[in-house]
Each structure stands twice: as C-alpha cells, then as structure tokens.
Amino acid sequence: MTVSFKWPAACWQAATVCLGLLLQLALPAYASDRVVAYTGFLPPLSIDNEQKGIAVELMELVAEKAALEFDIRFAPWKRAQILAENTPGALLFTIAYSQSRSKKFQYIAPLIYTESAFVTTSEPLDTFENAIESNKVIGVHLGSQRSRILQRAGIENFIELSTAEQMTTMLQTGRIDAWYTMSVRAKYMFRQMGYDPDKLVIGAPLSHGIQWLAANKELDPEIRARLSAAVSKVWRDPKYWEIVDRYAS
C-alpha cells in the first residue's frame, strides 16, 4: 500500500524561505559587494599589482569608504577598455571623458586631475603649432585621449606606443623627439628606469584632464551611488595628497 502525504502550502513556503536563508549563509559575505575594476599599465597612475600606483591606492580608499571589495585587474589600456565594456557591472579607471566613450561607459566621479605637455630632452615645445613647424617625432600612448588630441590639432608626425617603458627608452635614446604625456609620468618613468629626470624639458601645459572612475553600463545603481559618495569622501581625506605626493616627488 502506498501512502501519500501532501504538505500544506504554508509549510512549502516556510521550507522555501529556510532554503533561501541557508544558501545566503553558504555564500561569502561580500559576494554581492565584490566588483571587478579594470585599469591599464599607466604609471604612475596604475603600475601593477605589486607597485600599485596613485589611482590604484586611491581606489583602495574608495573601496574602504564604499564598503566594497575591488578585484583590480590590469591589462593593456585598449584591452582594459574592451574588457570593462563587455563585463557587466565592471569598473574602469582612470579614463578621460569623450562623447564616444560616454556611449560605452557611465562616468561615476573624477578620481584625479592631470595636465599634459610635450616632454623633450632638448628645446621645449610649448604649442601644437611648434610641434607641427618643427616636424619632430612625437610619442603618445596607444589608445589614449592624447592621441586624439594630437590628431585634432593637425599633428601627423607621431607614433603610438603601448607602454610607458617603451616611450621612456625611445625618448632617452633619441628615437622620438618628444613625448606627449603627463609631466608627472615622464619624471616618474625616467627615475624608475635609472635615467636622470632633471634632463627632461617640460613644455607649457597643453591640456588639462580629468581621470575618471567609470563603469560598464550595467552597473547596479545602488553600487554606483555608493561609489560616488565614497570618491567624494576620498577627495576630503588627507591620505589623498599623501598618496599623490609620494609618487610625484
């Protein structure tokens, strides 16, 4: 004889709730608060997992104040942008604003302000017109907003390189005449690679940039709000300038 037993609907509902609670307890506490954050090899803003960089350390402060955990991943800059664009909920730092990029990412908050100039080892280049007239070979970071700025300025004699190390070596050896970059980056790289940063000639600032914290279009609005509030707190934290000064000196 087969005996069948049918639970009341209320019992099934209670069992379902209990199972859901058990599953939540089985997951890591930070599961919903862990966010992938992509960046490039952009010293001194983003260097690598060991040496970190200005922006990486600032992002650690952001994570602390937002009560989030970041899984920071490095990649060549163009690839980092593609990865962030195609990873739902991912972050991307540090990125300059442009209309084309705003269609791919949502911009959350400014992380750091920068200025860029032509860096040489001889006479200064203070304007885009000077660069065109001199016909000097300009180096610029591959996939960067500065590359687009050079094109808009009508400069044709430039080459794009993927790493700051390449750019530093080529400027030191005379294979490029100038490097269009942040002055703090040029000084940092020359010092790191054993060259004399005092030999660098920094031209007049040609562009001022905002390096943003941005995100994939599918970022949770609640996470976005927490990040925006956290960045605002980081800007007011004395540790902010301690970090910047440590890399810039």
Domains of the chain (ranges, CATH numbers): 32-114+209-248 (3.40.190.10), 115-207 (3.40.190.10)
Distance of CA 56 to the CA centre of its chain: 8
Strands (E), 124-244: 138-141, 158-161, 178-182, 201-202, 207-216
Largest CA distance in the chain: 101
pLDDT at position 84 is 98
Q: Which two structure tokens, joined as six digits, stand for 233?
A: 């707190």
Task: Give how far Cα 59 sits from Cα of 54, 69, 83, 230, 243, Å.
Answer: 9, 10, 18, 10, 11
Tell which residue, 58, 116, 54, 26, has the closest CA to residue 236: 58
DSSP SS3 for 207: strand
- pLDDT tens-digit profile of 129-156? 999 999 999 999 988 889 999 999 999 9
Cβ atoms 205, 117 nearer than 8 A: yes
- Judged against a pLDDT cut of 60, whether residue 25 lies above it is answered with no
- pLDDT tens-digit profile of 211-232? 999 999 999 999 999 999 999 9
* Cut 0.95: pTM above it: no
- Judged against a pLDDT cut of 50, whether residue 14 lies above it is answered with no
